[in-house]
Structure 1
Amino acid sequence: MKRSPKDVIDSARMISRRALVMGTVQVGVIGVLGMRLQSMQVDQADEYRLLAEENRINIRLLPPARGMIFDRNGIAIADNEQNYRVVMVREDAGDIGEVLAKLTELVDINPEVLARAMDEMQRRSPFVPVTIADRLSWEDVAQINLNTPALPGITAEVGLSRVYPWGADLAHVVGYVGPVSDYDLQRIDDNDPLLQIPKFQIGKSGAENKMEHTLRGSAGDKRIEVNAAGRIMRELDRREGEPGKDVQLTIDSRLQSYVQARLDGQSAGAVVIDLENGDLRAVASAPAFDPNLFVRGISSRDWTALNEDKYRPLAAKAVQGTYPPGSTFKMVVALAAMEAGVTTAEETVYCGGYTDVFNIRFHCWKRGGHGNINLHESLKQSCDCYYYEIAQRVGIDKIAEMARKLGLGVRHDLPLSAVATGLAPDKEWKSSVRGESWRIGDTVNASIGQGDVLASPLQIAVMTARLATGREVTPRLIRLIDGVAQPSGLGESLGVNENTLRRIRSSMYDVCNHHRGTGYRSRIIAEGHKMAGKSGTSQVRRITAEERAAGVIRNEDLPWERRDHALFTAFAPFDNPRYAVSVIVEHGGGGSAAAAPIARDIILQAQFGGPPPLEAYPSDVRDRIAAQQRRIEERIPPGSSGLVRA
């Protein structure tokens, strides 16, 4: 049907409107696209250029060289050695199983190590390099490099790994490093990206742990160009990290080796302090362990063997172990009583072999008693009843105060693992910790270093150093950091009457040099080298009245773990004190028999700067000492015999 002119005009108008709307929409869309293109090509050009660049350039962290640790004579005791290793980046490898199968055809890799590496890869981000194996030979590295095209994601690298040349001799002092673990990441508040590198080594114990931030350094990085398959084409640039700082300890590694050898066969600890500056010359615990076992991750067999050893080789007995100090504590009680004015050096106390306190009988070690005895004789012969009496007069609070002044019951700030605080108990301590009142019997027990009193060999050595010098000698382990000297431990005056200190020292001298002294059999006869000391025997079991009546069982007849601990502490030379030493022999029996000979040998070694002449010893023991010196010389590592004075 023929349309009217009006219909034609209306239809044309409608088409024009639709065209206008469509055109507007098209222009709008084109405008938006144009603006987006401008934004991407002009405004965001740098950002997209960077993204494109990151697709072909990888940035990888470069671990810094860990700072070395030296002894006081500049001998390396924690070193770095070159270490060839092979790493894998999971996102570049494709089929991981196939690549690892090819790798094991070229390099012999322990299946257990390989399984740990695969587990590590699953837990890490796909772009993080994971160490598959380390300590490879150069021939292994050459094989890997030759077959690189067939090993996508695999790279052979050379780095540094920790090594401890002195092995077990310095294990408890230097400590060890090990691969960073998930447990480490959870317990330490440290955002250093280096810790995300699998098998990155961090300090786990000892100075390695406590000086971690000083020794670690900071990361560098390198930019590498990779092709579309992720294979490394070339290294574009490199920024080396900041190496860790070197640390020099106060330890004399040669003296340390001697002490460790002298303690061999015992469950024991010993400390040697230089009285001129508080330097710890030796801090030894026996038995020890080889820290090199931990560097790459210790095997379960080795770990079990160390943990199940009843002599506890992992325990740093010299600083971590706390023991009742026994009669070595008597100097504290004597000094507290003299300073408080409750006794004099001339006053005598009667010892009949026991003291009754509120119907409780406290025995002296000498069953028949010592008779009337004064301060000097009480220390020389180690009479217990004398201290039962004067301790009741002075009271536990003043005894505890003096103990802390001498370094007991105080945690000494040293970069070592688990440095013990010990315990110098007083009335407030018992009330707050046990909710009980202090009793007179507690004071009597504490007067001979038993009961709640606890001290480490380190603390007993500090006590002896302060008695010998009258100064607040403070133990120091770090001598230099990157060549910068650390504060001395010389210490200020204790503020104790010097005449009283002289009487204590004189008594300690007779302990070792008078025929009735408890340490006489371990005396030094060389003029200018004689020592003053004090023995101690720390009971680990209660002796019942029935046992006393029937006869006390001898230590050597008891099982090892029920025997008394043996202690001895000393300083020398007496006329001009230079060194203090303390020794603990766990379950060794009497201090004068088990610990005193060790202390004498150590302090002679320190004084003479090496093996002392046999003439320094009493004639009746020289043959035995000569044989002992030969055995120890064989035990000490080559090149370490003799000391170098600093």
Structure 2
Amino acid sequence: MQLERRLKRRHFLVLMGMTLVWIGLITRLWWIQIGAPHRFTKRNIDLVKNAVKQRQQSIVLHSGRGDIRDRNGYAFTGEEHRALILFPLARGALAGTDGLSRLAAIVSQPVERLAEVMEKAKAPLLLRKEDGKLIVLNERQAEQINALDIPGVVALAVTERYRPDEVAKHVIGFINQNPNLVESLYPEEWASGKMNADSTIGASGLERSFDRFLQGVEPSILSYYVDGQGKPLRGLDIRYSKQENEYYPLALTTTLDIHIQRSMEQISDEVGLKQGSIVVLDAQTGDIRSMVSRPTFDQTKVDVRGDDWKNRAVKQLPPGSIFKTVVAAAALAEGLVSPTERFTCTGEYGKYHFSCWKKEGHGSVTMDEAYAQSCNIAFAQIANRVGGEKLEEYAKRLGLSEQVGHATAHLFKLDGFRQIEGEDRGAIFAQGVSRRDEGVLIQTAIGQRDVRVTPLQAANMVVSILRGGQPAQVRVVNEIAYRNGQTFHRFPMQVLPVQGIDYVTASKLRKLMRKVVTEGTGQLLGGAPWEVAGKTGTAQTGGANQSQNHLWFIGYAPYDEPQYALCVVAENQPSWGGNQATELFRRAIDALSGQTAQSSQPRAGNSQE
């Protein structure tokens, strides 16, 4: 009897458990289908939208984001063109008809190639040439294609945000989907559902730093809704959503010059710059006219685990002997050395295994000759007089310890807004290192050990010297404008919050830099179309391969009436062979000198030394 009661009780508990499980499942299904189909899980996944997407083939015709333009209005983020749009569902519509041959005749493409494109298509696509460039249609071609009335084949205006052959990719950056970043950057929009896991935001460059301003209207999308066999659903087959707004999205007007940018990138590729950067600043304003980073990358297919997409022009590196400019500035400004004072270089310092690049030594040299010849021994002696604290002070005075990109304390909802995303600060001494250790000091004097400078900082230091000693912030964006062209916000020129150097010292530095080209390590630039002044630098990489160096050249031209300040860096170069940085600088000056305010294209430099 007791055993029977136990069995009944166990049976009852089993039934109760199964009932509760079924209730749970039914409740869950109700919640998924009715209770929260649009905001499922903490990621706010829209189940209804995703279900519809399974029966939807779509292509974005315009991202909805604001344009990023050069100083004269050229759009780095695409230009509207008519294009042929092909959906995979068109395969069924074209089967057994002459539609494909008629379509091929209109776009002047072989039928075989068009058939191959259609066969391989797994998603909607734009018809391109074999080199990847978009096939642009005229108005008549577009009308003829649409008159064919083939489901899945249509000609419409398209704006590709990123063109394969575009320049300034590292400055512009790229966009992608990153739910974690969306939630952290836009908590209010995330909570309200305005932004979700499918939202696209800026991931690098100006796309990232100005994302809140470039976020504008919904994208323009062309969609086909199909059944299980991929055939258009009657009454719901095609939808075209296009946003029209007089004021949004906002657009950025940068300080970049498209012609200078193109010529600098062409030069980089001709010389074979595999890793490095070129920065060209306006000598008067300090605005960025061109910024090149290599290696390049595809903005539509970014491997975020790599670093090709990172802008090397704002990443710190050991600067080598261009840092002797700081040593010279400190020594001259403090009255510790005169340009004509003599020093003796035997090739060896005598301790710390410190030597000059010229093994036999430079002999007796004046301070200005030591700068021109980049003598390590003379500058080790000068640095001993200056001291570590003063070296650090003057590096800061010349803007080498600060982020130099334009910054705004409060810009609308953004505190501490910076125009240049991912910019490093630079450094002179590592934390805890004694500024009075002679071994540390002499290595610091030649831009080695713990010294780190970005190419942008180095170019801006040249502008500071040309300006008379006061460093300023560097702009890459001049204005944010409404879609109708009215100004939304202008960025004024701003000085860095540091005390610069005096005018007399800046004038002396300019003369030292000119002597580098006339009598020193930069004599290969003596035949340039403009008179050039500058400073060479060779820095050991500090990596496992000690036979590789970072090669630098900073300078400006023309000497008497400066128009441009430049910094060129060729990273990880072999210790033998020609100086790629000097070659890049020479070609850059040749291209810039051939350009006038009215020219549409700078001429390339001679490929021979």
Q: Secondary structure at the match of 2:588?
A: helix
Which has the larger helix fraction? Answer: 1
Residues in 2 aligned to 1:583 and 1:83: alpha-carbon distance in whole angstroms: 39
Query: Deviation of residue 511 (structure 1)?
Result: 0.7
Q: Give the letter for the 1:189 counterpart.
A: Y
Residues in 1 aligned to 2:310 and 2:454: alpha-carbon distance in whole angstroms: 12
Q: Secondary structure at the match of 1:412?
A: coil
1:581 to 563, 566, 580: 566
Q: Give the letter for the 2:521 counterpart.
A: T
Query: Deviation of residue 70 (structure 1)?
Result: 1.2
Residues in 1 aligned to 2:279 and 2:342: alpha-carbon distance in whole angstroms: 34
- Residue 228 of structure 2 is aligned to residue 243 of structure 1: no
Query: Deviation of residue 336 (structure 1)?
Result: 1.0
Alignment of 1:101-120 (within 5 A): 105=92
Query: Deviation of residue 494 (structure 1)?
Result: 5.7
In structure 2, the CA distance between the partners of 1:444 and 1:195, relative to structure 1 (3 Å rule), is: same
Aligned residues: 468
Aligned to 1:572: 557
Aligned to 1:420: 424
- Residue 391 of structure 2 is aligned to residue 388 of structure 1: no
Residues in 1 aligned to 2:187 and 2:120: alpha-carbon distance in whole angstroms: 30
In structure 2, the CA distance between the partners of 1:476 and 1:188, relative to structure 1 (3 Å rule), is: same
- Residue 579 of structure 2 is aligned to residue 593 of structure 1: yes
Query: Deviation of residue 626 (structure 1)?
Result: 3.7
- Residue 296 of structure 2 is aligned to residue 288 of structure 1: yes
Aligned to 2:600: none
2:509 to 504, 507, 515: 504
Aligned to 1:268: 276
- Once the two structures are superposed, residues 304-332 of structure 1 have per-residue CA deviations (whole angstroms, 9 ceiling, x without a partner) of 9x94xxxx633321122x21111100010
Aligned to 1:196: 196
Larger Rg: 1
Q: Secondary structure at the match of 2:186?
A: coil
Could you tell me whether the CA contact under 8 Å between 2:531 and 2:559 is conserved in 1?
yes
Residues in 1 aligned to 2:160 and 2:339: alpha-carbon distance in whole angstroms: 56
- Once the two structures are superposed, residues 429-462 of structure 1 have per-residue CA deviations (whole angstroms, 9 ceiling, x without a partner) of 522xx7x786221111000000000111111111
Residues in 2 aligned to 1:145 and 1:520: alpha-carbon distance in whole angstroms: 63
Query: Deviation of residue 353 (structure 1)?
Result: 1.2
Q: Give the letter for the 1:352 counterpart.
A: T
Residues in 2 aligned to 1:525 and 1:173: alpha-carbon distance in whole angstroms: 28
Query: Deviation of residue 83 (structure 1)?
Result: 8.6
- Once the two structures are superposed, residues 480-525 of structure 1 have per-residue CA deviations (whole angstroms, 9 ceiling, x without a partner) of 22154421357899652322222221121111122xx111022245
Could you tell me whether the CA contact under 8 Å between 1:430 and 1:438 is conserved in 2?
no
Could you tell me whether the CA contact under 8 Å between 1:388 and 1:447 is conserved in 2?
yes
Residues in 1 aligned to 2:157 and 2:436: alpha-carbon distance in whole angstroms: 60
Q: Secondary structure at the match of 1:398?
A: helix
In structure 2, the CA distance between the partners of 1:574 and 1:442, relative to structure 1 (3 Å rule), is: same
- Once the two structures are superposed, residues 381-415 of structure 1 have per-residue CA deviations (whole angstroms, 9 ceiling, x without a partner) of 11111111121222112111111211212112353
1:324 to 315, 318, 336: 318
Q: Secondary structure at the match of 2:573?
A: coil
- Residue 397 of structure 2 is aligned to residue 405 of structure 1: yes
Aligned to 1:551: none
In structure 2, the CA distance between the partners of 1:438 and 1:195, relative to structure 1 (3 Å rule), is: farther
Q: Give the letter for the 1:605 counterpart.
A: A
Residues in 1 aligned to 2:72 and 2:380: alpha-carbon distance in whole angstroms: 47
In structure 2, the CA distance between the partners of 1:112 and 1:341, relative to structure 1 (3 Å rule), is: farther
Aligned to 2:230: none
Residues in 2 aligned to 1:182 and 1:203: alpha-carbon distance in whole angstroms: 12
Q: Give the letter for the 1:245 counterpart.
A: L
Residues in 1 aligned to 2:498 and 2:279: alpha-carbon distance in whole angstroms: 23
Query: Deviation of residue 162 (structure 1)?
Result: 3.9
In structure 2, the CA distance between the partners of 1:507 and 1:416, relative to structure 1 (3 Å rule), is: same
Identity score, percent = 26
- Once the two structures are superposed, residues 279-304 of structure 1 have per-residue CA deviations (whole angstroms, 9 ceiling, x without a partner) of 1011001221232x24xxx6xxxx49
Aligned to 2:493: 488
Residues in 1 aligned to 2:238 and 2:398: alpha-carbon distance in whole angstroms: 64
Residues in 1 aligned to 2:242 and 2:288: alpha-carbon distance in whole angstroms: 42
Residues in 1 aligned to 2:438 and 2:148: alpha-carbon distance in whole angstroms: 73
Q: Secondary structure at the match of 2:572?
A: coil
Residues in 2 aligned to 1:453 and 1:189: alpha-carbon distance in whole angstroms: 37
Residues in 2 aligned to 1:375 and 1:84: alpha-carbon distance in whole angstroms: 67
Could you tell me whether the CA contact under 8 Å between 1:250 and 1:476 is conserved in 2?
yes
Q: Give the letter for the 1:65 counterpart.
A: G
Scaled by the length of structure 2, the TM-score of the pair is 0.66
In structure 2, the CA distance between the partners of 1:110 and 1:454, relative to structure 1 (3 Å rule), is: farther
Query: Deviation of residue 143 (structure 1)?
Result: 5.1
Calculate the aligned-residue CA RMSD, in Å.
4.3
Residues in 1 aligned to 2:182 and 2:147: alpha-carbon distance in whole angstroms: 32
Aligned to 1:445: 443
- Once the two structures are superposed, residues 47-81 of structure 1 have per-residue CA deviations (whole angstroms, 9 ceiling, x without a partner) of xxxxxxxxxxx9xxx99832111111221211264
In structure 2, the CA distance between the partners of 1:396 and 1:112, relative to structure 1 (3 Å rule), is: farther
Residues in 2 aligned to 1:233 and 1:536: alpha-carbon distance in whole angstroms: 64
- Residue 264 of structure 2 is aligned to residue 259 of structure 1: yes
Could you tell me whether the CA contact under 8 Å between 2:65 and 2:217 is conserved in 1?
no
Query: Deviation of residue 252 (structure 1)?
Result: 1.0
In structure 2, the CA distance between the partners of 1:392 and 1:467, relative to structure 1 (3 Å rule), is: same
Residues in 2 aligned to 1:361 and 1:145: alpha-carbon distance in whole angstroms: 73
Residues in 2 aligned to 1:506 and 1:525: alpha-carbon distance in whole angstroms: 18
- Residue 299 of structure 2 is aligned to residue 314 of structure 1: no
- Once the two structures are superposed, residues 141-170 of structure 1 have per-residue CA deviations (whole angstroms, 9 ceiling, x without a partner) of 965589xxxxxxxxx998965423473521
- Once the two structures are superposed, residues 167-209 of structure 1 have per-residue CA deviations (whole angstroms, 9 ceiling, x without a partner) of 352111111223x2434434433443553384x5432221112
Q: Secondary structure at the match of 1:77?
A: coil
Q: Secondary structure at the match of 2:341?
A: coil
Could you tell me whether the CA contact under 8 Å between 2:86 and 2:152 is conserved in 1?
no
Residues in 2 aligned to 1:585 and 1:212: alpha-carbon distance in whole angstroms: 31
- Residue 519 of structure 2 is aligned to residue 521 of structure 1: no
Q: Secondary structure at the match of 2:314?
A: coil
- Residue 601 of structure 2 is aligned to residue 609 of structure 1: no
Aligned to 1:213: 212
Q: Give the letter for the 1:333 counterpart.
A: V
In structure 2, the CA distance between the partners of 1:504 and 1:239, relative to structure 1 (3 Å rule), is: closer
Residues in 2 aligned to 1:437 and 1:181: alpha-carbon distance in whole angstroms: 44
Query: Deviation of residue 247 (structure 1)?
Result: 1.1
Give unpaired runs (5+ residues) of structure 2: 1-51, 53-60, 95-114, 128-141, 221-232, 407-418, 598-602
Could you tell me whether the CA contact under 8 Å between 1:519 and 1:596 is conserved in 2?
yes
Aligned to 2:344: 350
Could you tell me whether the CA contact under 8 Å between 2:557 and 2:563 is conserved in 1?
yes
Could you tell me whether the CA contact under 8 Å between 1:339 and 1:496 is conserved in 2?
yes
Aligned to 1:473: 472
Q: Give the letter for the 1:331 counterpart.
A: T
Query: Deviation of residue 261 (structure 1)?
Result: 1.5
Query: Deviation of residue 84 (structure 1)?
Result: 9.3
Aligned to 2:182: 185
Alignment of 1:96-175 (within 5 A): 105=92, 133=124, 135=126, 162-165=160-163, 167-175=165-173
Residues in 2 aligned to 1:184 and 1:134: alpha-carbon distance in whole angstroms: 28
In structure 2, the CA distance between the partners of 1:205 and 1:408, relative to structure 1 (3 Å rule), is: same
Q: Secondary structure at the match of 1:587?
A: strand
Which range is displaced more, 339-348 or 66-75? 339-348
Scaled by the length of structure 1, the TM-score of the pair is 0.63
Q: Secondary structure at the match of 2:328?
A: helix
